[in-house]
């Protein structure tokens, strides 16, 4: 099974959470969720992003979670100088509020349960220092932080580009990697013969 959760201004509405049956290994793509996301759009809110798709259904149900985020539509009186009334209704106005995501990867595998969606304004610049505390909090025992990708990040209207990726690498492994950890097969430090590198693409 997998779960769909709905968030309104980053607050979960548990009454809308859904459990959906799926075979292990099934890939759930964004298109599978879009109709449900549309159906759960509350009046006065707009869909912002669907997080953790595509999702490959696994045995660990806690990891099989898709999160749908909505944000309140900004409204103002048609004539700001007059009080709101039948002749001066509130109308939607353009705003520059959006979100960005922080994703956490352990040995290049994303942990979708840790993905964060954070409010921001278009044009904001998110620096490495803004993310370092989160990176430290999400560091698991036996892992080290290797890199934070996509910082500094300038926030744009395209939420799919507003993603910061935090990567960790395991610092220990079983003495015999083919066997589980035990007193006879203790964990030992990983040799520092591997590193990570970034590939950056620039377009005019």
More confident residue, 200 or 86: 86
Report whether 183 contacts 199 (CB < 8 A): no
Give yes or no for residue 175 having a pLDDT over 70. Answer: yes
pLDDT of res. 75: 87
pTM: 0.78
Q: Which helix (H) or strand (E) holds 104?
A: strand 97-106
Q: How much is the mean pLDDT over the chain?
A: 89
pLDDT in tens, 95-149: 888 999 999 999 999 888 899 999 999 999 999 999 999 999 999 998 999 999 9
Name the percent of the chain lying above pLDDT 90: 62
What is the rounded distance in angstroms from the CA atom of residue 78 to the CA atom of residue 185?
A: 71
Residue 153 dihedral angles phi and psi, to the nearest 5°: -115, 125
What is the rounded distance in angstroms from the CA atom of residue 42 to the CA atom of residue 11?
A: 13
Report whether 114 contacts 167 (CB < 8 A): no
| Model confidence band, residue 200 (pLDDT cutoffs 50, 70, 90) | low
- Residue 193: half-sphere exposure toward Cβ, Cα within 13 Å: 2
Report whether 69 contacts 51 (CB < 8 A): yes
Q: Which residues of 63-102 are buried (b: 16+ CB within 10 A; e: fewer)?
A: bbbbbbbbbeeeeeeeeeeeeeeeeeeeeeeeeeebbbbb
More confident residue, 167 or 195: 167
What is the rounded distance in angstroms from the CA atom of residue 162 to the CA atom of residue 121?
A: 11
pLDDT of res. 125: 97
**Torsion sign (Cα): 45, 47, 52, 53:** positive
| Model confidence band, residue 164 (pLDDT cutoffs 50, 70, 90) | very high
| Model confidence band, residue 202 (pLDDT cutoffs 50, 70, 90) | low
More confident residue, 196 or 79: 79
| 49-53: average pLDDT | 92
């Amino acid at each position: 099974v997998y779960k769909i959760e709905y968030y309104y201004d980053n607050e979960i509405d548990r009454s809308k959470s859904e459990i959906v049956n799926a075979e292990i290994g099934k890939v759930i793509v964004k298109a599978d969720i879009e109709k449900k996301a549309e159906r759960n759009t509350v009046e006065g809110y707009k869909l912002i992003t669907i997080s953790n798709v595509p999702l490959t259904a696994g045995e660990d149900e806690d990891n099989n979670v898709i999160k749908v985020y909505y944000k309140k539509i900004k409204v103002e009186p048609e004539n700001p100088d007059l009080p709101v009334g039948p002749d001066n209704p509130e109308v939607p106005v353009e705003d520059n509020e959006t979100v960005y995501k922080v994703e956490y990867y352990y040995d290049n595998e994303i942990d979708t349960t840790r993905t964060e969606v954070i409010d921001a304004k278009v044009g904001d610049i998110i620096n490495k220092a803004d993310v370092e505390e989160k990176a430290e909090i999400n560091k698991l025992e036996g892992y080290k932080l290797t890199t934070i990708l996509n910082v500094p990040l300038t926030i744009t209207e395209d939420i799919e580009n507003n993603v910061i990726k935090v990567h960790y690498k395991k610092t220990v492994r079983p003495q015999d990697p083919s066997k589980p950890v035990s007193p006879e097969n203790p964990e030992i430090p990983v040799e520092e013969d591997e590193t990570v590198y970034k590939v950056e693409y620039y377009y005019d």
